[in-house]
């Protein structure tokens, strides 16, 4: 059955459907980036809230700024902006159709429709999932990069920008001119201090085009920090077949683990949905939650992904079942990551690690190691390097973190241990392959990537450990390196 509003009443009893009248919803949020994570996370929380009979004036209007977003718009508009979300529990999948999004704006050159919708006084929140690498942050400085070619190009066409930050600034300019209070900008991306990073990008872009406007944005616009969490695999034939097995024709279904978490600062001058009623935590201590999640979960993904991929292991749960990979994961987490993480009210670090161990081991999710290896040049400096720095400053061990850096470098040589080529898996793949080959002769060539490692290549304890492990991985293989580290 093709998914649509009219088909909702005919869905299988196995499939939950929106518990509210979608026709009674009205717009309140523009969300940019309608990928799987948003539809399995923010949209699900709102769907739950609407089902309580609450806040029906906070429906989502979807948007995108990349040409690739047009295909998602076409698919979702064809099914009345409904999404299939399937929770992958080991004891059985649970499917639901969510309806929190009511429209998807045209994806167009110059982003005119997006700017107009954000300028609409009914828009009180603009939220984003544009990936960790979508904020134009210089990894070397850790701040917004106004010299990025896309940003410089947008500054020259500020009334018809191509980037989301150019569009946000253009919309805020219209609201200011009309005497309309600014919307809140809420990042839902997996970044340390994501609200601060977003503020830097929006204000930094505005400074290129209108200093007075930039000052107004900095003083008037709220950018709450938030921590988001739910493992959400990419959609492929398996996921579409799973939806079809439930009687649903949906080209873009979302699958996800049962667990989800959202922690937010309560900084919304124009109001917000009552998300605390559906499990969202509002706190001034987002950074503590964020540090725990990013170090243990996202860092943990790297710990299992690179050795497993090199050994030809395709799935995350299979990696967790591999004795060497799992032992490596636990030892690095317990000895080199947990000591630098603080507890939160819900979890101490050791309990949280056990939760992550169980989540990674869920065989129903079928998350791929290739997906977890994706975009290491953006993820390593955010998820691994901070733990290295903490370990060096504390005089604590960093051997396992050096080994994961060596395994990432080995992966970027572009061939697995059995000789299988690795398809490009990073925006900077070609440069990484060249550097990984250079590192065979001089391991320090890998650590010379200051945009990833900063000055860590000049730190003898880390640089020496990296060189040692990189030589072992290349000479004796991944298993031998893992065995030596575990021993």
Report domain extents, the chain. 8-284, 287-486
Best CA proximity match to 321, nearest among 353, 349, 362: 362
On the 0-12 / 13-18 / 19+ scale of CB atoms within 10 A, 68 is: exposed
CB atoms within 10 A of CB 292: 24
Distant-in-sequence, close-in-space partners of 84: CB < 8 Å, separation ≥ 6: 3, 15, 95, 96, 97, 243, 246, 248, 250, 253, 254
pLDDT the model gives residue 104: 98
The tokens of 28 are what?
Answer: 């309140």
Closest CA to 319 of 252, 377, 382, 369: 369
As a CATH number, domain 8-284 is 3.40.50.720
86: closest CA among 246, 211, 312? 246
**CB atoms inside a 10 Å sphere around CB 310:** 26
Cα–Cα distance for residue pair 294/160, rounded to 1 Å: 35
Using a 10 angstrom Cβ sphere, with 0-12 exposed, 13-18 middle and 19 or more buried, the burial of residue 156 is exposed
Tell me: domain 287-486, CATH 1.10.1040.10, correct? yes
pLDDT tens-digit profile, the chain (487 residues): 899 999 999 999 999 999 999 999 999 999 999 999 999 999 999 999 999 999 999 999 999 999 999 999 999 999 999 999 999 998 889 999 999 999 999 999 999 999 999 999 999 999 999 988 899 988 677 899 999 999 999 999 999 999 999 999 999 999 999 999 999 999 999 988 999 999 999 999 999 999 999 999 999 999 999 999 999 999 999 999 999 999 999 999 999 999 999 999 999 999 999 999 999 999 999 999 999 999 999 999 999 999 999 999 999 999 999 999 999 999 999 999 999 999 999 999 999 999 999 999 999 999 999 999 999 999 999 999 999 999 999 999 999 999 999 999 999 999 999 999 999 999 999 999 999 999 999 999 999 999 999 999 999 999 999 999 999 999 999 999 999 999 9
Contact predicate 460/454, CB 8 Å: no
Beta strands in 106-248 (DSSP E): 125-128, 137-138, 143-144, 184-187, 226-229
């Amino acid at each position: 059955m093709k998914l649509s509003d009219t088909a909702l009443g005919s869905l299988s009893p196995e499939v939950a459907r929106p518990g509210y009248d979608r026709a009674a919803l009205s717009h309140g949020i523009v969300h940019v980036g309608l990928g799987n994570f948003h539809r399995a996370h923010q949209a699900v929380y709102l769907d739950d809230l609407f089902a309580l009979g609450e806040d029906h004036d906070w429906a989502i209007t979807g948007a995108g700024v990349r040409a690739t977003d047009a295909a998602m718009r076409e698919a979702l508009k064809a099914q009345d902006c409904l999404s299939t979300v399937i929770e992958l529990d080991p004891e059985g999948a649970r499917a639901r159709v969510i309806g929190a999004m009511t429209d998807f704006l045209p994806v167009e050159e110059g982003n005119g429709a997006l700017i107009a919708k954000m300028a609409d006084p009914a828009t009180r929140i603009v939220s984003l999932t544009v990936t960790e690498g979508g904020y134009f942050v210089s990894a070397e400085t850790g701040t917004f990069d106004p010299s990025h070619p896309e940003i410089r190009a947008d500054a020259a066409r500020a009334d018809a920008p191509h980037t989301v930050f150019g569009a946000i600034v253009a919309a805020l300019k219209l609201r200011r001119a009309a005497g309309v209070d600014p919307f809140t900008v809420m990042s839902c991306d997996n970044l340390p201090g994501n609200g601060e990073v977003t503020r830097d990008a929006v204000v930094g872009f505005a400074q290129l085009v209108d200093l007075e406007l930039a000052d107004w944005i900095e003083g008037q616009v709220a950018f709450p920090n938030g921590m988001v969490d739910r493992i959400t695999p990419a959609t492929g034939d398996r996921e579409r077949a799973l939806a079809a097995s439930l009687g649903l024709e949906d080209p873009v279904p979302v699958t996800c683990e049962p667990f989800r978490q959202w922690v937010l600062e309560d900084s919304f001058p124009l109001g917000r949905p009552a998300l605390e009623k559906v499990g969202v935590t509002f706190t001034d201590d987002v950074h503590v939650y964020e540090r725990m999640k990013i170090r243990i979960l996202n860092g943990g993904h790297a710990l299992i992904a690179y050795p497993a991929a090199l050994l030809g292991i395709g799935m995350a749960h299979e990696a967790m079942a591999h004795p060497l990979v799992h032992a490596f994961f636990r030892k690095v987490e317990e000895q080199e990551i947990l000591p630098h993480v603080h507890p939160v009210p819900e979890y101490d670090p050791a309990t949280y690690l056990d939760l992550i161990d169980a989540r990674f081991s869920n065989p129903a999710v079928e998350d791929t190691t290739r997906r977890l290896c994706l975009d290491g040049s953006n993820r390593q400096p955010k998820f691994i390097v901070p733990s290295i720095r903490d370990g060096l400053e504390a005089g604590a061990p960093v051997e396992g973190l050096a080994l994961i850096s060596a395994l990432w470098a080995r992966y970027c040589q572009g061939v697995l241990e059995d000789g299988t080529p690795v398809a490009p898996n990073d925006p900077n793949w070609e440069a990484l392959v060249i550097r990984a080959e250079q590192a065979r002769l001089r391991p320090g060539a890998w650590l010379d990537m200051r945009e990833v490692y900063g000055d860590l290549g000049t730190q003898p304890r880390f640089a020496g450990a990296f060189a040692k492990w990189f030589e072992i991985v290349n000479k004796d293989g991944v298993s031998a390196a893992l065995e030596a580290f575990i021993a």
